Structure 1
Amino acid sequence: MIAALVGETPITVETVMRRVRRLRQGPRGELLPADGTAEGRQLRRWVTQILVAEQVVADEAARRGIVPGGPPLELTPTARLELGSVMAAVLSGNPLAQALYRALTAHQNIPETEISQYFANNQYRYRGISYEQAAPGIRADLLGARRRRQFALWAEARCARATLLPGFEHPGDIRHPDHTHRH
């Protein structure tokens, strides 16, 4: 039985359930909602989203000839919020996703005018620090945010093309009866 289709690639119900079981057997498994509850079904839907995103990443990486490599990508709490829970989960533990992230966002840059404007608009953060001292950190922060936004938008658009079968819809889909997902 199929839970989702990413292009022509099926994600089976067994694959989803195997991932859920693996999560339940993990170090925080006792914190997860019980099977058969509305929250348990939401967990299954969230896991489906992860699997869809992983397949989208794998397909794009294969298309571009990208292989895993590079230093691990560390995600701050802010970065996780910017990416959303699904892409944060995929990026935090998937070297192929990290390599694709770097490839898709490598061309991003921050113009000097944007850095100086940020410095001018946030003087309270830089008391006693000159622009020359603050600029590298500002550049890194703005560049990181821009890269994460670009990747999140790319991933959201690609994942939205997947076909999710009944019972495996996005957790935020208001059409299913267990809808409890809120932002």
Structure 2
Amino acid sequence: MSAPGVGAVAGWVDSRPVPRERLDRRIAELREGPFRGTLPVPGSSEDRQLARWLTQVILTEALCEAVASELGLDPVEGEPFEGVAAVELGSINTAAYNGSPWVRAVFAHVTATTAAPPEWRSPTPAEHRPPRHLLRHRVFPDPSSAQQATSDDLDPLGRASLDSLPAAIAEELRRHPHGTLVGPVRDTLGWHVAIAVPDTASAPPPPQQGAALRPEPGPSRAPAPIAGGDALLDAARRRAFARWLDDMRAKKIELVPGLEHPGDPRQPDNHHKH
């Protein structure tokens, strides 16, 4: 599909065409870069899915560029999202955020007044918290590289519950013994590989006996502040931005045939395999 004065387009943002050349250049940069050996074979189903994924990243960047221009925002530099934060935000949103100062500017603007939901800040007794694991995880763009992955190829996510991972890979991890390299498991983000080992250091201590359970009376104290307040706010901001992007993409972005969302079940390359 093409537009007058632009030629082939990768899509439209608020009725303005985004040149296909932007996508072709991004693909060429990847094929000339250090990870070229992990990319799918040109012309394959996985290669077309990669192009669809990159299109979503580019259109998200273009959307935020337009919003930043309209609002008069300045570009923002910052640290990239990695690990659990990247998984929470989603691979497309994370790639756009990490690669574009305009996406970061819009993120800062959209989430400036975001607050963590009160229920997130309610202390939970240790015995009711979901078990934590030492997690390693990575999303691969194609099944062949995912199948060849070892634990050393995965990104360390630190201590977290399995619920912090995408549902598909979290469910598979629960079905396997601890320490098993699980995957590839496919969802709309790509092919997941992960490994989880129980975090014994964070397990609640065993209950004490007798008088130790009845502390001596003493002066009253203010409740201790809930740990992780900043982390909760950061997570809330990522969630708010992801929802804002979903809403804006639905309203402002028009896709073209052949460059649909990679998770669209109507496009021919969206075949689910484990």
| Unmatched runs of 5 consecutive residues or more in structure 1 | none
Alignment CA distance shift 1:68-1:114 (3 Å): same
Alignment CA distance shift 1:85-1:131 (3 Å): farther
Residue in 1 that maps onto 2:248: 158
1:33 aligns with 2:40: yes
SS at match of 1:163: strand
Alignment CA distance shift 1:181-1:169 (3 Å): farther
1:97 aligns with 2:103: yes
Dislocated runs of 4+, deviation >6 Å:
none
SS at match of 1:73: coil
Question: Could you tell me which amino acid in structure 2 is paired with residue 165 of structure 1?
Answer: V
8 Å contact kept, 2:93–2:242: yes
Render the CA deviation track for 1:65-106: whole Å, top value 9, x for unaligned: 111135x13423111111111000011122221121111101
Q: In proportion to residue count, which structure has more strand?
A: 2
TM-score after normalising by structure 1 = 0.85
Residues in 1 aligned to 2:124 and 2:93: alpha-carbon distance in whole angstroms: 32
Offset of residue 120 of structure 1: 2.9
Residue in 1 that maps onto 2:51: 44
The one of 12, 15, 20 equivalent to 2:22 is: 15
Residues in 2 aligned to 1:142 and 1:182: alpha-carbon distance in whole angstroms: 34
Alignment CA distance shift 1:47-1:74 (3 Å): closer
SS at match of 1:160: helix
Residues in 2 aligned to 1:78 and 1:10: alpha-carbon distance in whole angstroms: 34
Question: Could you tell me which amino acid in structure 2 is paired with residue 144 of structure 1?
Answer: D
Residue in 1 that maps onto 2:235: 145
Cα RMSD after superposing both structures:
2.6
TM-score after normalising by structure 2 = 0.58
1:176 aligns with 2:267: yes
Residues in 2 aligned to 1:122 and 1:99: alpha-carbon distance in whole angstroms: 38
8 Å contact kept, 1:172–1:182: no
Alignment CA distance shift 1:111-1:19 (3 Å): closer
Percent identity between the two aligned chains: 34
1:79 aligns with 2:89: no
Residues in 2 aligned to 1:182 and 1:164: alpha-carbon distance in whole angstroms: 25
Offset of residue 38 of structure 1: 0.2
* Higher relative contact order (CA closer than 8 Å, sequence separation 6+): 1
Residue in 2 that maps onto 1:3: 10
Question: Could you tell me which amino acid in structure 2 is paired with residue 177 of structure 1?
Answer: P
Alignment of 1:52-63 (within 5 A): 52-63=59-70
8 Å contact kept, 1:49–1:170: yes
Residues in 2 aligned to 1:122 and 1:64: alpha-carbon distance in whole angstroms: 45
For these two proteins, the number of residue pairs brought into alignment is 177
The one of 108, 114, 120 equivalent to 1:108 is: 114
Residue in 1 that maps onto 2:124: 120
Farther off after superposition, 78-87 or 155-164: 155-164
Q: In proportion to residue count, which structure has more helix?
A: 1
8 Å contact kept, 1:172–1:181: no
